[in-house]
Amino acid sequence: MNGADHQGAGLRAAVRAAIAADDLEDTVRAVLERRFPAEGAGASLDEAGADLGMSPAMVAHIEFAALCAIAARRSQPGAAIQTTSGPGTAPGRSHAGRGGA
C-alpha cells in the first residue's frame, strides 16, 4: 500500500535514523524529537515551541529545513545534514540585492 500512512511511516523512519546518526545540531534534534517521537503522536508546532521557548513559526522553519536536508541525504547518501549557513555554503541573493520595485 502506498497511501499516506505508508509515506508517514517512511518519513518517521528517515527522521528517526537522522536522530540516531548523532550529527544534528542540538536545536534541530530537539525539534525533531518532539515532532517525530519514537512512539506516539508528535507534539504540535505550538506545543514544541512552548517546550523549546520559540515560536511555532520557528519550529516549523527548523523542521522544514531539517526535512529538506534529510530528503537530500536520502538521495545522496553520506551528505551531511546542515540547516544553518556555515563554511562551504554559497550564500543566496538577499532581498536587499534584488533592487526595488
Residues of the domain holding 61:
26-82
Q: Is the dihedral of CA 74, 26, 61, 8 positive or negative?
A: positive
Asked if the model's pLDDT at residue 23 lies above 50, the reply is yes
Supply the pLDDT for residue 13. 84
The tally of domains found in the chain comes to 1
What is the average pLDDT across 73-88? 56
What phi and psi, each to the nearest 5 degrees, are found at residue 37? -70, 160
pLDDT confidence of residue 59: 96
Q: Which residue has the cell 509515506?
A: 7
Residue 68: inside a domain? yes
Residue 52 lies in a domain: yes
Mean pLDDT of the chain: 75
Residue 80 binned pLDDT confidence (cut-offs 50, 70, 90):
low
Q: Are 31 and 66 in contact (CB under 8 A)?
A: yes
Band the pLDDT of 98: cuts 50, 70, 90: very low
Banded pLDDT at 97 (limits 50, 70, 90): very low
Q: Is residue 21 part of a domain?
A: no
